[in-house]
Amino acid sequence: MKWKQLSRLQRSIILFLFAFLAVCGVISYTNMGEQWKSLRKKSSEDQKTEPEIPGLKPANPAVLPEPQKAEANYPELSPQKHSKPLHVRRGPPNLQIRPPRRDARVKARDVAGKTEEEPGQADKEEKTEKSIISWRGAVIEPDQSTEPPSSIIKEPEKPSSVEVEDQKEPVPINERQMAVIEAFRHAWKGYKAFAWGHDELKPLSKSYSEWFGLGLTLIDALDTMWILGLKEEFEEAKKWVATDLLLDKNVDVNLFESTIRILGGLLSAYHLSGDSLFLEKAKDIGSRLMPAFNTPSKIPYSDVNIGRGTAHPPRWTSDSTVAEVTSIQLEFRELSHLTGDKKFQKAVDAVMKHVHSLSGKNDGLVPMFINTNSGQFTHLGVYTLGARADSYYEYLLKQWIQGGKKENELLEDYMRAIEGVKKHLLRTSQPKKLTFVGELAHGHFSAKMDHLVCFLPGTLALGAHNGLTADHMELAKALIETCYQMYAQVETGLSPEIVHFNLHAQKDRKDVEIKPADRHNLLRPETVESLFYLYRFTGDKKYQDWGWEILQNFNKYTRVPSGGYTSINNVQNPSNPEPRDKMESFFLGETLKYMFLLFSDDVDLINLDKYVFNTEAHPLPIWAPA
């Protein structure tokens, strides 16, 4: 329709409507503009006042400094850097080494009472952690329970996406621990140069000796190297295990020794490193040892041919020692726990149940021998906590702990045995009134005590720590004093293999008497082991000082300049201790490991609420929380 064809009235109406709409549009625009301006002004004012609201922080604050690192005054032998030591309580950061099959979680921690973390701080801390990656242990978690808040920076809680944490908090290494690392490297230097892949080093003749031909020293030392942080040495040893540890060989091995050293060492290396190589080798050796249990009584034979799959008792008897058949349980039980194959645990549990039911005990004390045919104790009436019986008592307690404190028969046998020790074997020496554990033979007491018995203070302390009667700890303290005196009262400061105590005061006589046949020292670990437990549970630094004296005397009288340490024949002759030219595998597997742990103030470097040591000092995980 054309405009000119419209009447004058129609054109007027249309123009009026356009004008009306235009006026309405102008009015609306004005009102909206004022509202928008007001909103913008308010927003600007809010932005200016926002930082003043409590609890809110700028996006990238620079408030907390990076964690400080202590300047070490000794050469750095470990691949990790060292954090600032703590000052409030004994013990560095609370670190937890956990089995690799468990998920890890880094816990959030409070910082000086603050309840919120500044945005961006997590990124800053992640960079710091990457710069101080530690290689020690499989999964190391910071725990807020033992660190002063002022010495840490809060970390966001985050689940680990891998089984083994890539980022580790550093563990401070003190000078005494560095001395242990140096001693280990010196011993390893000799082994690598003159005995690589063989059982034991002969450091003086720069050669080696074979027992089973299975690299005992190397396997015994795997977890020690891991705990000491010796990455290169560990990796080199692992390659030997992968390529040269051949178990399909025609050789007789001792069931007990191969279980505690080889099976225990491989299981421990697996748990600490997470490398399945060690578990596969553990399954192999465990399976090859099983023929030992094919006896009429199910009490295992002492010897197994791991290539032929046959087993037999010693040539001179059909007996096995009680300690040997009752100190393989931790390892075989753990093998079943890992593999799901119950045959291993079934075999060793049957041994314990059988021994539990036997007559011939004396208030919980057991004889030293048991017949593999009849399943009965032999050589009745002789009771000792030394050789051939010692670790029976140790493994009663440790199996109970390993299984989550559920197997009451084990605990009952242990408690009864300790009461038997108090009743029949405990005496006091003269002149220093040292408490010691002697032996009983057909009703006659002997004041003879093996150095092996010095495992007992540590075991008693471990039991007390796990809720047993407090007088066990008091007895542990008394006995560890005696074990220390077995070193301190000797001319070299090193204990002999066996001592006899004076029961009656005599002029110019010490508490400790040593017979010529007993004055050798094999670099044994038992006293250092118990010092470790006592220090871990009491914090009394005298135990560290005693251990330091022992290490210095090992260095003074047993160290071989070309590499290695040697056992000696005469601890009473400082000028000529008569070296025996043999370094036992347990010196690296036990003695130096316990030394390192003794000198550490980190209660979670092998947390004793999470791990239990086998009798060769190989830590195995406790299955369930107590």
CB of 609 closer than 8 Å to CB of 148? no
The single-letter DSSP state of residue 300 is P
d(CA 213, CA 245): 9
Q: 117, 252, 257, 513: which one is catalytic?
A: 257
Q: Is 497 a known active-site residue?
A: yes
- CA distances to 59, 69, 122 from 65, rounded to whole Å, are 16, 12, 13
Paired strand residues for 445: 440
d(CA 502, CA 520): 20
Q: 155, 319, 394, 526: which one is catalytic?
A: 526
- CA distances to 254, 265, 272, 509, 583 from 285, rounded to whole Å, are 12, 11, 19, 50, 24
Q: Is 513 a known active-site residue?
A: no
- Residue 448 has phi, psi (to 5 degrees) of -95, 135
Tokens of 502: 């004076």
- Residue 275 has phi, psi (to 5 degrees) of -85, 120
Tokens of 427: 């005496």
Residue 447 parent element (H or E): none
Q: 497, 584, 602, 616: which one is catalytic?
A: 497
Of 132, 135, 228, residue with least CA distance to 177: 228
Q: Is 526 a known active-site residue?
A: yes
Which amino acid makes up residue 418? I
Of 552, 551, 577, residue with least CA distance to 566: 577
The single-letter DSSP state of residue 203 is T
d(CA 543, CA 299): 39
- CA distances to 122, 133, 428, 626 from 125, rounded to whole Å, are 5, 12, 57, 34
Of 311, 260, 254, 251, residue with least CA distance to 282: 260
CB of 80 closer than 8 Å to CB of 134? yes
364 — alpha (psi -120 to 50), left (phi > 0) or beta?
A: left
Q: 390, 394, 529, 584: which one is catalytic?
A: 390
Q: Is 199 a known active-site residue?
A: no
Of 230, 328, 236, residue with least CA distance to 285: 328
Q: Which residues are catalytic?
A: 257, 390, 497, 526
